């Protein structure tokens, strides 16, 4: 069984914490654009300031956050999958065995799971944001 080193666990946790902090800092600006109701008809020109703001937020906040979360997930997911497969094999062979339990491995799986969830959340936000920009542009 390959154990996750404390250095790998620490780096994964630290990077996830940093990315989550950035997510929290950017969230309100992103949410403000997602909450905008595009104007229609004669009021369409009033969308221009929100469109301009949305493009700035997309380039300066949302895309870097999306890239960072995807990279984090891609870097740590191979060991995550390996640990899940390894855990299943141990469970299949030995049943529930506290002799083979490893806190570092379990923590790594949890940290990587949260990174995957964060990436999913950012992807959904990105999708909604792009739809909103298109609505503001047209």
Q: Tens of pLDDT along 37-87?
A: 888 887 888 888 999 999 999 999 999 999 999 999 999 999 899 888 888
**DSSP type of residue 99:** T
pLDDT number for residue 41: 80
Arithmetic mean of pLDDT over the chain: 89
Query: How many beta carbons lie within 10 A of that of residue 34, not counting itself?
Result: 13
Who wins on pLDDT, 114 or 6?
Answer: 114
**SS3 assignment, position 49:** helix
Spell out the domain ranges in the chain: 6-137
Cα–Cα distance for residue pair 56/46, rounded to 1 Å: 17
CB 105 within 8 A of CB 83: yes
Cα–Cα distance for residue pair 65/69, rounded to 1 Å: 6
The mean pLDDT of 113-136, rounded to a whole number, is 95
Q: Evaluate if residue 1 carries a pLDDT over 60.
A: no
Cα–Cα distance for residue pair 38/47, rounded to 1 Å: 6
Tell if the pTM clears 0.75, that is, is over it: yes
Q: Evaluate if residue 2 carries a pLDDT over 70.
A: no
Q: Evaluate if residue 135 carries a pLDDT over 50.
A: yes
Let me know the angle formed at the C-alpha of 27 by 60 and 33, rounded to the nearest 5 degrees.
75
Cα–Cα distance for residue pair 123/69, rounded to 1 Å: 9
Closest CA to 19 of 61, 77, 79, 81: 61
Q: Evaluate if residue 121 carries a pLDDT over 70.
A: yes
């Amino acid at each position: 069984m390959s154990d996750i080193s404390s250095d790998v666990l620490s780096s994964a946790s630290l990077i996830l914490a940093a990315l989550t902090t950035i997510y929290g800092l950017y969230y309100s600006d992103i949410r403000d654009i997602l909450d905008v109701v595009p104007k229609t008809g004669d009021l369409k020109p009033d969308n221009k300031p929100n469109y301009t703001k949305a493009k700035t937020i997309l380039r300066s906040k949302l895309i870097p956050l999306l890239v960072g979360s995807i990279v984090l997930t891609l870097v740590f997911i191979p060991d995550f999958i390996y640990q899940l497969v390894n855990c299943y094999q141990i469970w299949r062979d030995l049943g529930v065995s506290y002799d083979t339990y490893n806190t570092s491995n379990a923590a790594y799986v949890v940290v990587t799971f949260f990174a995957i969830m964060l990436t999913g959340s950012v992807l959904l936000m990105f999708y909604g944001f792009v739809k909103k920009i298109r609505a503001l542009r047209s």
